[in-house]
Homo-oligomer: A and B are copies of this chain.
Amino acid sequence: MPPHVETRRQDLLDGLQQFLRIPSISTLPEHQPDIRRAAEFVAAELGRAGLRNVGLIEGAGNPLVSGEWLEAAGKPTLLCYGHYDVQPPDPLEEWKSPPFDPTIRGDDIFARGASDDKGQTYLLMKAVESLLASRGSLPVNVRFLIEGEEEVGGRHIESYVRARGRQIGADAVVICDTEMFAPGLPTLCIGLRGILYTEVEVTGAGHDLHSGVYGGVAPNPIQAVAEILGGLKGADGKILIPGFYDKVRPPDQAELEAWSRLPFDEVQYREKEVEVAELVGEPGFSVFERAWARPTLEVHGIRGGFTGEGAKTVIPARATAKISMRLVADMDPQESFRQFADSVARLTPRGCRSKATLIHAAGPSLVSTDNRYLQTAARAMTEIFGRQTVYIRSGGSIPIVGVFDQYVGIPSVMMGFGLPDDNLHAPNEKFHLPNFFRGIEAVARYLELLGQ
């Protein structure tokens, strides 16, 4: 480990813990003050790193945090992206230590946002800070753009970047918000799924009804949601929305072969990572295809009726389901949502009315491996980790990647330092500390190689 990282180990941990203590949950309005505190924390860190023009960009939504260092004349400009918002921590009772009281156990730090994405955003800032501190200058130009709405669709940054297009002034984006395929295996992510997050509200009778008096006569909106869900996705995992798969671009033969060479033990994955008796999903596709290259439809929760302790015999007047779909290249979010909404309307049983609302949407993205920004990143990762870097995709969504591709025309380099068992969006989220420190080195090395 280079001296500028080694000697500052405790400082780096202290700073990360401070960041992780802020419960900047973007989906819960009561955490708006925490969102602002997190944004201000990031701005302070960028200032400390030595960036110029640091500030909060206000707009419709949570503030973006920006800063820049543009004194490497003739060198490329990298846009460094991360997000300071996090997912809600529930179910709280399953955390072994409180989600916003970062706790180190063994080589891991446990907290909501540890890996997604505060830990990785922080290492990006610290890589730049350590280069500037040790060399007095950077080998390339950098602009930081850190957002606070990634977990809720990233509307602010999307409109900001779309409005500026090429004026954004960068040649590539570097993003640390993905994971390594396996511990110690340097990994670049080249594909992400898009997302449609929706709410489907079903209404039946004008008021809640007694299931004894009206059972057999009145429609039940929860049963209706169940029927709709069963009609949207078959028991075999195939999505039944007409036209939904039409634009799906299958991975090419070379990519499929590369996936087949990845060090992957499906039994281990099933038993230790997913902890499930049987993996499921669309018949005829491998685990990687199902998780990375096929669209999905998942229900996240159904609100309505009675779910407390004990018994209440109610037929509720309404029920609301949160349903998301993941999209893959070359699906179009708007078209896919129309297909979804049409299917929901068609599947709504008699006696009920339904409304499908799009909460947020992001397109899928797929980066070509044929560019120097990606290839140089692979080289830096290989050097630092001592193994050949692999290219993978991720089943998750980072909405901004598609925006940079479509509206700015620049590639995103996704250097991920998370691990598959980091419990993203789940209780006991963690970040592997050796990856935190090596991540700082790898990003710093990437900037050095890019500047040569």
Contact = CB atoms under 8 A, between A and B. Distances in A.
Interface string A220-237: 101101110110010101
A247 to B, nearest CB: 17
A308 interface: yes
A431 interface: no
A106 interface: no
A265 interface: no
A326 B213 CA distance: 10
A211 B276 contact: no
A27 interface: yes
Given A277-B351, A301-B222, A314-B425, A395 B307 contact: no
A26 B282 CA distance: 46
Number of identical protomers? 2
A451 B153 CA distance: 75
Interface in A83-115: 87-88, 90-91, 94
A143 interface: no
A222 B302 contact: yes
A207 interface: yes
A217 B316 CA distance: 32
Nearest to A287: B217
Interface stretch (A52-60, A134-142, A292-300): A292-300
Nearest to A304: B301
A443 to B, nearest CB: 23
A152 B311 contact: yes
B349 A153 contact: no
A280 B315 CA distance: 13
A291 interface: yes
A396 interface: yes
A389 interface: no
Contacts of A153: 311
Given A197-B311, A313-B195, A216 B304 contact: no
Nearest to A205: B276
A424 interface: yes
B427 A208 contact: yes
A276 B306 CA distance: 20
**Interface class of chain A by DSSP:** loop
B280 A300 contact: no
Given A212-B326, A213-B396, A311 B151 contact: yes
A432 interface: no
Contacts of A306: 88, 90, 300-301, 322
Contacts of A275: 205-207
B222 A274 contact: no
A170 interface: no
B226 A230 contact: yes
A423 interface: yes
Contact of A212 (B218, B395, B423, B428): B395
Given A91-B208, A207-B94, A226-B225, A280 B310 contact: no
Contacts of A204: 276
21 contacts: A27-B311, A88-B308, A88-B312, A90-B308, A205-B275, A206-B274, A210-B425, A216-B291, A216-B294, A219-B278, A219-B280, A276-B351, A280-B351, A300-B313, A300-B314, A301-B304, A301-B306, A302-B302, A310-B359, A312-B425, A314-B425
